[in-house]
Structure 1
Amino acid sequence: MADQRHSFRLTSSFDQRLALVVLASVCLCSFLAWPRLDNLIYLMIKYCAAGVTLVFFSYQFWQLSYWHCRFSLGRDGEGQIAWGVKRRLASVDETSMEKFTLVMNPIVTPLVVFFYVHTQDMSVGHRRLVIVWADMLDDTSYRHLCRLLLAN
């Protein structure tokens, strides 16, 4: 019997955006802990670093509206994945998806799932972290993904 693969389509979610906003807030609030100095060079570095940080997180937040991931996973821990922006993934077929295998143990919680995949791109392997927030999938699909990950 052939191994049955289960497909999942992910798009950005409210929880993913909220996590990004919280991380950005922590990073930007860390500039309040810098000591007060009247040195012009120090102040320029501080405000430039804060500006670059703000621009970086703003860009990341904007990119989330285009983020998309599609993957299939089998009971054997192997599957295929494609991620990027929605415009490019609309034309993705099964032959252009990267093959992967699960590595390490996944972290499964009611809110989020973390798991590592090892992809084989052009004979070079990469280990990548995949984060799936619960509101990226409907409840049944999220529970099914959790069961698949815990079974491996």
Structure 2
Amino acid sequence: MRDTEFKNFDHKLAQGDVIASRGTNIASNGNYRPDIAVKNSSGAIHLILESERKSERKAFIGAMVHAAKYAADSNLKITLVFVMKETGNQTTVAQVSANIRPYFQWLHTLGAKQLHSVLLISDVEYDASAKAGEEILSAQFSARCTAL
């Protein structure tokens, strides 16, 4: 899914959740522009969605580190969801998650526990989930994801 298409997609949010940002800065100090940032009913950002079309490990790791820093700086518990384009046998959700899992675990050993969880889902599954009316982070949605 292209960046603009993803930012304007009809994301299925939990009741009370609202999109706080579609690619605009959410950091009070610094510059952090995730594709989508979601606020809960109490107004705190708790969910970040990133669309990744490339299979480069460094892009995923960079986005994960950025989310972890934002979560720590803001003292917010964040879930990061990568919606990725799978490209044949070369780049699958399983392969990318296996490649970046050690970095997520390493961040936690450094104390970056505010980045609560990281989920990966293919863009095909994300679209199917939305068409089925599954709210992001629901049990049905999570079953389609791979968690780090």
Which structure is larger by alpha-carbon Rg, 1 or 2? 1
More helix by share: 1
Which range, TM-score by smaller chain?
Answer: under 0.3
TM-score normalized by structure 1? Answer: 0.25
More strand by share: 1
